[in-house]
Amino acid sequence: MATSSSTSQQRIVIVGCGIAGLELSLFLLKKKRDFLIINPTDYFHVTFASVRSVALQGWANKTMIPLQPTLGDHFKMGKVVEILPNADQTSNAGGKVLLESGEEVKYDRLVIATGTREQWPVRLYEMEKEEALRRYEKLCEKAKSSKQVVVIGGGATGVEIAAEFKTILPNIDVTLINSNRQLVGPFSERSQQALQTQLSTQFGIKLVLEERVTNLNELEQCGNGCVKTNKGTEIEADLIFKVIGDRINATAYEKGLAPAVEESGRLKVDTSFRVEGFPNIFAIGDCTSFQEPKIGALAQEHAKLLGKSMLLLDKGKQPAVYKPDKFFFVAGVTLGWNSAFARLKPDIKFPVFIMKKLKGQKLFTDRYWKDMRQPYPE
């Protein structure tokens, strides 16, 4: 089990253990660096793998990995409700974070990695593991008895949920509704057409594009009801998924770091991930203001580079510089465990068999269990 470092280095506190927060923690742990990560739950949730949890019984447990066995005393369970930076922001003096319990935790350097607040069942947010497993099990039982599933939202998550249903429960009718013509993105018109053809012909998913759901607020997440659009389409659904409108999870910092918070809730950062106006506070992942796709691969790059910067700062050197356009990432979706659709930036075909091998079978869950040095639950 990991134990805390007893060095004289400046103490790093990380708020949030999503993809970026975990990646940074594992880096610092390997380097035997003094740090503490604070998270409202005692597990890491592989959020993008939850698209399979909604239809396949027993899968959800593979997406929730206990933090304590890996991080030991470097992990603290708690909800940060406010950042209390040092009043003198011209110095490198640290500050405190205030927990919901009333406890204050001191830091020398602070890293914000709180990500987004997607809706259940994609993100569990502050849900206890046993409660989440119980709800997923109940949802899977409901799915098995459903005849018509409607997914509202044509981003990557919505497309993947629709494909998972048709892979696991092929006799269910699945309709995907999106207010725009484009699905996922950023893809060219030609690639968009190829993706839509694959979804409709290979999977039999009915696509309703350029139609907006007008009774969205009346529809219960994972409930049933009649879905109505602005063009008169009405669909009686046994199971409804609303996969739209992700919000930035700014609760922890919106007050204490208010001058640096954009209208969207994201934090203004420089190319070294420093939060504008706060020299010893950094941000990584989806909560940053970088104009780039908000995907896990780039959140990991943020964490790796910031980890290196922390070591450079320890030596009195300048931090590394992040170049958002540098990375040649794969934009794509897995379509069940037997298919995928992917493009390399900027819209170059990416071999489907590689995408399937890398992600399709286990949706990267096995990789995270391995990185956290825990046995994969078969």
H/E stretch holding 216 reads none
So what's the pLDDT on residue 365? Answer: 95
Instruction: Give the global pTM.
Output: 0.91
Enumerate domains of the chain plus CATH numbers. Answer: 12-40+78-119+246-314 (3.50.50.60), 129-245+328-372 (3.50.50.60)
So what's the pLDDT on residue 345? Answer: 60
Q: Between the ranges 216-225, 241-250, 348-357, where is the mean pLDDT highest?
A: 216-225
Residue 276 Ramachandran class (φ > 0 left, ψ -120 to 50 alpha, else beta): beta
So what's the pLDDT on residue 329? Answer: 58
So what's the pLDDT on residue 286? Answer: 94
Peptide bond into 85 cis (omega under 30): no
pLDDT at 7 over 60: no
- 306-311's contacts with Cβ under 8 Å and 24+ in sequence apart are 306/24, 306/111, 306/273, 306/282, 307/23, 307/24, 307/27, 307/28, 307/31, 309/272, 309/273, 310/12, 310/28, 310/33, 310/109, 311/31, 311/33
Closest of 109, 44, 74 to residue 296, by C-alpha: 44
So what's the pLDDT on residue 119? Answer: 77
Residues 129-163 have pLDDT tens digits of 999 999 999 999 999 999 999 999 999 899 999 99
So what's the pLDDT on residue 356? Answer: 65
Residues 294-351 have pLDDT tens digits of 888 899 999 999 999 999 999 999 999 998 876 555 667 889 888 888 776 656 666 6
* Contact predicate 228/216, CB 8 Å: no
Mean of per-residue pLDDT scores for the chain: 91
Q: pLDDT band at 6, cuts 50/70/90?
A: very low
* Contact predicate 118/249, CB 8 Å: no
Q: Which residues pair with 98 in a beta bridge?
A: 82, 104
* Contact predicate 335/203, CB 8 Å: yes
Q: How far apart are CA 96 and CA 104, in angstroms?
A: 6
So what's the pLDDT on residue 352? Answer: 65
* Contact predicate 355/335, CB 8 Å: no
Rounded to an integer, the average pLDDT of 237-245 is 94
Residues 349-371 have pLDDT tens digits of 666 666 666 666 899 999 999 99
Residues 12-51 have pLDDT tens digits of 999 999 999 999 999 999 999 999 999 999 999 999 999 9
- Which 8-state DSSP code applies to residue 253? T
Rounded to an integer, the average pLDDT of 189-210 is 93
CA 122 to chain centre: 9
Number of helical H runs and strand E runs in the chain: 9, 22
